[in-house]
Amino acid sequence: MFCPKCGQQNLENNFRCTRCGFVLHDPAQPQYVVTDDNTLGGLIPYKNVQALLAYYLGVFSLIPCIGIPLGIAALVLGIKGLKYAKLHPEAKGKAHAWAGIILGTLCAVAYTLLTLIVASVSFMFG
């Protein structure tokens, strides 16, 4: 086989020309097949980090002492996760974002009201 670039004679099985390095043959096709991974990709939106964090923060906002800041963070990240999922539909994560928004908001509001009620009662009865 002769190189089309420099004219050097090469063996038939050479991938590149021995003189100039020109590619003589197309590379072999890969022996593996890339498929869509539906095992965890559909359940855990690892491509939408904001939605995933919103979900976990929403769950952890159920803890009484830290529920207010975690609930607010879940709300903010849930909104960002929804926007990201809208721009990148392949990332998924809308359900996780909504769970973070709803649970985070409910916990933050409930613990804020509970704190205000306890503070007002302790102020009234000293």
* Within a domain: 1: yes
Tell me the residue range of the domain where 104 lies: 49-125
Q: How many domains is the chain built from? A: 2
Opening angle at CA 63, ends 79 and 67, nearest 5:
45
* Within a domain: 74: yes
User: Would you state the pLDDT for residue 31?
Assistant: 44
Which backbone phi and psi does 54 adopt, to 5 degrees?
-60, -40
* Within a domain: 21: yes
Q: State mean pLDDT over 44-64.
A: 92
Torsion sign, CA atoms 116, 121, 123, 126? negative
Q: Are residues 17 and 63 in the same domain?
A: no
Tens of pLDDT, residues 79-121 = 999 999 999 888 899 999 999 999 999 999 999 999 999 999 9
Q: State mean pLDDT over 17-43.
A: 66
* Within a domain: 35: no
* Within a domain: 34: no
Q: Are residues 64 and 15 in the same domain?
A: no
User: Would you state the pLDDT for residue 43?
Assistant: 77
User: Would you state the pLDDT for residue 12?
Assistant: 85
Q: Are residues 121 and 72 in the same domain?
A: yes
